[in-house]
Structure 1
């Protein structure tokens, strides 16, 4: 356990949590063994191998946990006093100037990249344990993106830290000006469970690059990744400036009681309101990375095969729909819907087989609460009769098959709540422009997608749809472009990050004006006269002729 990790007695002694983790771990191992079974292997042999691997891994896991807990100097209970001490330690480090230097920032980013290189297998294993996330998804959507963020920050850090020259005017002549990025201080990052590596470490990269001390609070709902991050960040990074606090609501609550220089929260709107209320007590600025119902508008003037594949990949290939930018619902015309639906069904079988419940390429639902919520959306009387594909659900494995619903009522739960799962409602309209009108009648989404070859429709969509981001003829890929800001608008969030936007998010742009003692204008000082007023008006108006006239006494 790194010196930066805190646990609570409640966490360590929770029998339910341990049992839940055991069941999920065994199910994951068994599923993998079954999918990769050798020729002639019986079900009993597969189960026996899974049990042996499970015992071996968990004996090692709990042996390590006992060692970590016994050796840890961290307090047994993380209360307000412990949180206050933690923040004071980090603030002392920040005030020492340690984190401001280019060398310190560079060393931490290099260590973070080394952590990713050294720990790739552990990370993928943790993601599989928490979400049964396929290795391909784990690498592309989490590991590779963190490596890319680290490398970009290492490459661009010196440029990002440089002051930016700013123009001055006649009113301050002679002078020069610049905008100096400076670190905010001590910041808090609260991450989410669905991409527990990416959503934890990516903001931390920005905070480090900007020269801050930082506390990371990973999600307790991704317990394997939370424990791993506490261990790895404690091992690879400077614990006097970067710490991890594990725990659940009690730990998060005492963290929010502290004074921070910025809070970066990723999650849902309900908790975001709690975060904002806590931040308001100290006038702490916040970044809120939330979600919403991200729509996909599909025109008939498209490449159908490509469109279908891209929608499916963005919906079910992104953590089985458990992504803030995953397509939430689809809109197309009544005339084109049958063609599109047939293509979607065909490709779903092609991607995940006739029995998607046993596909190794689909993540499971994050936890039992989310499973129950999704099942409630499916079992709604207004929706259950509208299912045209999928609908299977297994509580024991937390699996729900890719499901398509056609024309669910606009007031149904599935059309009013963010789905965040493997369910895709399709809404039909008379003409494609009606889809734009419908999208604008709802809360502003985190992302909005359009598939069309129609230039005018593209322009209308971009001009009229307010969303955190817009993608034409694809979905979710704007996240991979580090020159684009990623963030929401309205109820889908505030603030943005990725690339330099992460650096800027954790920096204050300080305005600096330099002047010498030459060129002191008597006209700015009392006693005020009509002549001085004429001169100042000419100066502030930028009129060279007016300045000359005022200096020579002409009105």
Structure 2
């Protein structure tokens, strides 16, 4: 048996382990009370603290904080409150006639002690969103937010400490070694949001204990804009989806395919809406955020410099200011396929554009890469839309808009293979944090009881008839 006593989080883990069955026995009303406390903290008590912390961390505009950080969690809570009672009821299922005399059902039981490791780009949303699902499922939770947004992590720590006992829900802050120490413990489930590279580390650590995982990863999410789309409207929506949070969004458009015939109109619309959104000087706009830190600023600046060195053309933007971690919304054409921009997830406000003449070349290109977390299509051609969807693979698809699929809690959110494992939001997030325990109850003698040894010719005939007819 492994000794974890030298792990600094072992005592906390043990407290939650001892408390997991008490939490697991809570009623849906008790769980909703816990969610209501979190909702009030986000809506009222800590709302302004969250806004100020996110501005300090990377100048996130207040409206973006409300829209992309606070609202999605509150909406998730409201959705769970409306449905949790039915989710927790035993789900009766049919029992085959060969098992006549039995009844069967599924019981949604908590997985137990869960670890949530959340990222920096939407720290409140992507920490508390999974937490809502974990609470709904009746688990104890240790939450580890990113060290890259320290002001926001501090506020979230205060919220959790204020609302919950640590033997129920706890939040721990710290650098990467904190995550490493936590990953050594035998959690019952790990929910991780971040890069595919770190996702592999999490999955490897989980395999030591056969711990189940949910991995919300990323990848290069493509956009296709064809010549039947309303170019002006498409570009306006594209700019919102790409440059909200300064492009630091896992489902942000990563690169765009446009029909060659619409290139001039596309560039004109892009210039027009960038000015409308952020003025002619985006660095002075209170609607445009910053890159989270110097490391990521230099990474993105390096991507852009690399593309330019390979003869890429900057059609819009390109200005950067290292001191302020500012990169202007940037549109790039003729990007070399072996450039950093096309080989890595960009995760910033730089948008490469590729042109095409035949949709099959777009489909072939997308399928030559890892499965994206999202794929976006702007088109009025239903046949072409269906062709693209049927002949590609992606975690999600949004037609004639982008990002909005994340906000529908009736839809599962998550990727496939390199873009993720498992789903979140609503009922699908609830399922990630429960074990679907199958239960069969025998009421009377069954056909199986008639077939116990010793085996006879008569029993063989019964089996033959069962195989043939039932």
- Normalising to structure 1: TM-score of the pair? 0.82
> Which of the numbers 15, 21, 39 marks the counterpart of 1:95?
21
Which residue of 2 is the match for residue 290 of structure 1? 217
Contact 1:80–1:254 under 8 Å retained in 2: no
- Highest relative contact order (Cα 8 Å, sep 6+), 1 or 2? 2
> Which of the numbers 464, 489, 492 marks the counterpart of 2:419?
492
Corresponding residue SS for 2:8: helix
Q: How does 1:243-258 map to 2 (within 5 A)?
A: 243-258=170-185
Change (3 A) 1:105 1:522: closer
Pair 1:237-2:158 in alignment: no
Contact 2:221–2:374 under 8 Å retained in 1: yes
Which residue of 2 is the match for residue 334 of structure 1? 260
Contact 1:80–1:257 under 8 Å retained in 2: no
Pair 1:123-2:50 in alignment: yes
Contact 2:115–2:143 under 8 Å retained in 1: yes
Q: How does 1:378-527 map to 2 (within 5 A)?
A: 378-380=304-306, 381-383=308-310, 385-519=312-446, 523-527=450-454
- The answer for unaligned runs of 5 or more in structure 1 is 1-78, 544-555
> Which of the numbers 68, 79, 83 marks the counterpart of 1:152?
79
What whole-Å deviation, never above 9, does each CA across 1:451-472 have from its counterpart, x for those lacking one?
A: 0000111111111110000111
Q: CA deviation at 1:102?
A: 2.6
Contact 1:191–1:218 under 8 Å retained in 2: yes
Change (3 A) 1:383 1:320: farther
Q: CA deviation at 1:520?
A: 5.7
Pair 1:104-2:25 in alignment: no
Contact 1:192–1:267 under 8 Å retained in 2: yes
CA distance in 1, matches of 2:214, 2:39: 25
Q: CA deviation at 1:540?
A: 4.0
Corresponding residue SS for 1:187: strand
Which residue of 2 is the match for residue 32 of structure 1? none
CA distance in 2, matches of 1:182, 1:495: 18
Which residue of 2 is the match for residue 343 of structure 1? 269
> Which of the numbers 333, 338, 353 marks the counterpart of 2:279?
353
Change (3 A) 1:204 1:80: farther
- Normalising to structure 2: TM-score of the pair? 0.96
What whole-Å deviation, never above 9, does each CA across 1:450-500 have from its counterpart, x for those lacking one?
A: 100001111111111100001111111000110000001110111000011
Q: CA deviation at 1:239?
A: 2.7
CA distance in 2, matches of 1:520, 1:349: 75
Change (3 A) 1:541 1:87: farther
Contact 2:312–2:333 under 8 Å retained in 1: no
CA distance in 1, matches of 2:249, 2:323: 22
Change (3 A) 1:343 1:522: closer
Corresponding residue SS for 1:508: strand
Corresponding residue SS for 1:471: strand
Change (3 A) 1:98 1:478: closer
CA distance in 1, matches of 2:23, 2:467: 40
What whole-Å deviation, never above 9, does each CA across 1:492-517 have from its counterpart, x for those lacking one?
A: 11100001111111000011111123
Contact 1:332–1:435 under 8 Å retained in 2: no
Pair 1:214-2:141 in alignment: yes
Q: CA deviation at 1:96?
A: 3.6
Change (3 A) 1:337 1:432: farther
Q: CA deviation at 1:433?
A: 3.0
Pair 1:182-2:109 in alignment: yes
Pair 1:262-2:189 in alignment: yes
- Bigger Rg, structure 1 or 2: 1
